[in-house]
Every structure is written in structure tokens, then in C-alpha cells.
Amino acid sequence: MIKSDVLNELLGILEGMYNQMKRGEIPEIDIATRTKYNIEFDEESEVWVYGDKTSKRCAKTIRGAYLLLKMAYVIGFLKEQLNVNKSSTLRELYYISENWGIAKFEEQAESDRLIEDLEILTSYQREHFHIRPEEDGATVIGPLRIRENTRRGVREIHCQEDVGEGGYQIPVNVDNIEFVDHDAKFVIAIETGGMRDRLVENGFDEKFKAIIVHLKGQPARSTRRLLRRLNTELNLPVVVFTDGDPWSYRIYASVAYGSIKAAHLSEYLATPSALFIGIRPSDIIRYDLPSDKLTDKDIQALNAILSDPRFNTDFWKKEINLQLELKKKSEQQALAKYGLDYVTDVYLPERLSELGVI
């Protein structure tokens, strides 16, 4: 498989619609029906595959016309992405469509389904389009050399030069790691795997001499222990980059303040000087970010945060009350509204500069 083959398949879909219109026909596409009633066992591959039943995507209806229009926009985006050898997550694709006017997606499930349509139509996988889902895995990548005690002896690893794109996997016992040397200016802990990948792909760790740590949602003890050690032993500032919702604020709190259920380990795990550079309610206004409506559970959690002594600061009171007033929440990847490089070229440099980190 080469890139040109993928592009030819994708552009062939648009060429087919163009030729239909050129002949004076209403454009339409037949695609396999994705239900349990249209699968059959393939003896050769020994897996279940789609059968012969198809459904039409046709511009005869308004709904069908919109779907084909959105497909054209997505193919155009994928073409550009493949040509510059970039990639994006399913979530970023959804937010990028904010710039497509009437072709924008109303929810991510819609854009996810369209990518599935393209996989079926082209027989290629979304990875071939350079589209990936959110990935799991608590990892480290950046200008840091470590020495680790393993079952097979001691090994030395540079977390930028000796690891793949995913980075160095954080072990359960972080105290088995010895910091050999580094060329880092700060540590950035990131909530989601997709955003971690965005920073790595854009060379954020190299440009800003940053150690990137993937939190994998609510961080494990080993991850929090590593952050504390990087901060206290190497004297590196730690910043935490999360979504803008109450659950993400609690992720930050577990890093900076220690979790409530493990308060007896706070001295060992918490990094009190850690700074929050996640999406703030005020950022929804400042950057005009796409947002979702707060759920009842979100509102309950925000009110609980207001009574949480760990958040008893003017900053958090102001931001939480603003969020309750806006009734909105937003994600890290909403910044993709302005392009895939915006988070590394604009948002993070602005926030890091405001906080005096860079």
C-alpha cells in the first residue's frame, strides 16, 4: 500500500459523483448495509464480512445531499493531510468541520460513521487515511535519559531518541528509574492520548524542550510519582493540560493536590507547584471554542468542586462560577477548529508564557 493508491481510491469517489452530474444524473453512492442482517462467514479468511445488501446515499433528498457534501469535504481534508504527511484523530476531524459551514458535523458519531463509509468504499483502513482514535497508554517522551532496573538487568534509555512515537512506557515502580541527564525546560502532563500524539507529531517536545507525559485520563500512582520526581529532583516546572470539564479539573487536582482517597500518599505523589493550563471556561469565550452543554452530573460535580477545599482559590471560584453561568464545557481538541497546529503554535505558547514557564 502506498499513499498514491489511497488517494486514488478516495478521489475516485468524488470523480464518480462528478461524472454522474456531468451526465445529468443525480449523484448517488451505494454502500454495504452495516447491520447483523448483512454479514456472512467468509470461508477463505474465516471471518465475518458484509454481504450483498446495500443502501444508497443519494442527493435526491436533503439529508442525502448533505451527506455527500460532507463526504466531499472529508475527502478534501484527507487529501491535504496525506499530501503533507500529517495525521489527526477522529475527534479532531469532528472539530475541524466547524470551519465547513453547512457541511459541518452535528456530532462526532456522524463523522465517525462517514470515515467508516470511506473505509468500506475504498477497502482501506482509517489508519491509511492517517486518521486514528484516541490511544491509551501512560507514557513519556522528551529530552530525558533514564537508567532503569529491569528483570534482565540495567538498561539506559533516552526518552526521545530510543523510543517510538508512543514514548517510554511508565513502569509500575517509578522508583526503579534513575534520572541520568536531561535537556528539558519543563514537563507537560496531558490528559488524552490524541492530544499527546498531536504534540509529538508537531515536534513540541523538541521545539520547547518539553517532557511530555500522557496521563491516560485519571493518572495512576506511578504517573503521579514520576511527575513529582521530575519536579523535585530535576527542578522542572510541571504543567497539566486537560479538557475543560469538572472531571478533568479533578485530574489536575490529583496531580497537584493529591487525590482524596489517597491523601495519606500526597507527600509521595502530589506535585503542589503543578500549574493548570487546561481548557478554562474563560477560554470558551476567549478562543470562541466549540462546546457542549453541561449535563446534570456536570453541574453537580462543579458545585461539589466549589465546596472542595482543594479548589478554594480565587482562580477556581471565578472559573467554576463562570462555567455554571455559561452552562458549557469544551475539550482540548476543540482547538482543532483553527487547524491542527493551533494548539502547539498559539494556545500552549500563549498559556505557558502567561504562566512564566517559557
List the catalytic residues.
Answer: 95
Beta bridge partners of 47: 42
Distance of CA 107 to the CA centre of its chain: 16
250 Cβ contact list (under 8 Å, min separation 6): 218, 301, 305
In which element (H, E) is residue 42 found?
A: strand 39-42
Cβ atoms of 188 and 202 closer than 8 Å: no
Cβ atoms of 220 and 212 closer than 8 Å: no
Compute the distance between CA of residue 118 and CA of residue 126 in angstroms, rounded to an integer.
8
Compute the distance between CA of residue 296 and CA of residue 14 in angstroms, rounded to an integer.
43
**What is the dihedral sign for C-alpha 126, 13, 77, 8?**
positive
> Per the structure block, which three cell numbers stand in for 213?
507525559
Compute the distance between CA of residue 197 and CA of residue 199 in angstroms, rounded to an integer.
5
Cβ atoms of 199 and 140 closer than 8 Å: no
> Per the structure block, which three cell numbers stand in for 330?
469544551
User: In this structure, what are the phi and psi dihedrals at residue 232, rounded to the nearest 5 degrees?
Assistant: -80, -35
> Which among 156, 129, 127 has a CA at the least distance from the CA of 144?
156
Cβ atoms of 55 and 37 closer than 8 Å: no
Compute the distance between CA of residue 26 and CA of residue 87 in angstroms, rounded to an integer.
33
Give the strand pairing for 28-32 and 139-141: unpaired
Residue 148's Cβ-count burial label (10 Å; 0-12, 13-18, 19+) is middle
Cβ atoms of 301 and 247 closer than 8 Å: yes
Coarse DSSP helix, strand, coil percentages of the chain, rounded to the nearest 5 percent: 50, 20, 30
